Amino acid sequence: MAPESFSVSEPVILFIRLLIAHLAGDFVFQKKSWIVSRAALKWRSGYLYANAAIVGLLSWVLSGYPSQWLIPLLIFLAHAVIDTLKSYAPDKPVVFAMDQAGHLVATVVFTWLYVKWECSPLTAPLIYNNLYLWTYTASYLTVMWPMGIIISMMTRKWQADSEQIAGLPDAGKYIGMLERILILTFIFGGEFSAIGFLVAAKSVLRFGDIRESGNRKNTEYILIGTMLSFTAAILTGILAKWLLKLPVL
């Protein structure tokens, strides 16, 4: 399809759909054991290719162009190559950031290829061109999974010094996930004052006992994680609101 046959926002929506395929494939459907296997076996891990196949399949479904199979195949290959390169690097935040940046660049390239190559009509165009549906989906996926991993990696160096008392398994992860979901929902609903209420409520529930115990390191550790979590959700919401203002032609 020639570039002029696309609307102003259609490539943007297509990029968001392909981004959702990456987010779902890498963070929802990929198990931790797959990541461990990839780190140990590198390119020899079958799970590396299974994950890339899931991303490629999701990209094919979410692209809306079922007759176009070459680009999903290229997505599979690119994802496998990027993840293989990551498996040889140390588990550090900068490596994670570079890995995700590589996937984002690849998604931009594949969006451009769809614009240049595709000549068949969209399947169910009313659904696939729904900017609100895909922006909301991508936003919630982002704050629920990737943001949690990024925050965990950024605060890892303080975890050993925080002198945390053992609590429920993975409770902190789900608390952070739920608070980011709430903040994003408040932003989409225009209820910005509710974010302040959430900050106050968490301060009372989470910080009160720690301050009384005099454990300053643990207090600061939780405060850093909370501020990073709130900031990530707010910035994601602001970006999503900006995307929703794009003209749909």
How far separated are the first and last CA of the chain, in Å rounded? Answer: 17
> pLDDT (tens digit, 9 = 90+) per residue, 114-143?
998 866 778 888 899 999 999 999 999 999
**What gap in Å lies between CA 203 and CA 211, rounded to an integer?**
10
- For residue 119, the model assigns a pLDDT of 64
Could you tell me the pTM of the whole model? 0.88
Whether the Cβ atoms of residue 63 and residue 71 lie closer than 8 Å to each other: yes
The string of pLDDT tens digits covering residues 5-50 is 455 588 999 999 999 999 999 999 999 999 999 999 999 999 999 9
* pLDDT band for position 220 (cuts 50, 70, 90): confident
Residue among 61, 55, 62 at smallest CA distance from 16: 62
Residue 159: exposure state from Cβ atoms within 10 A (0-12, 13-18, ≥19): exposed
* Model pLDDT, residue 206: 60
SS3 69: coil
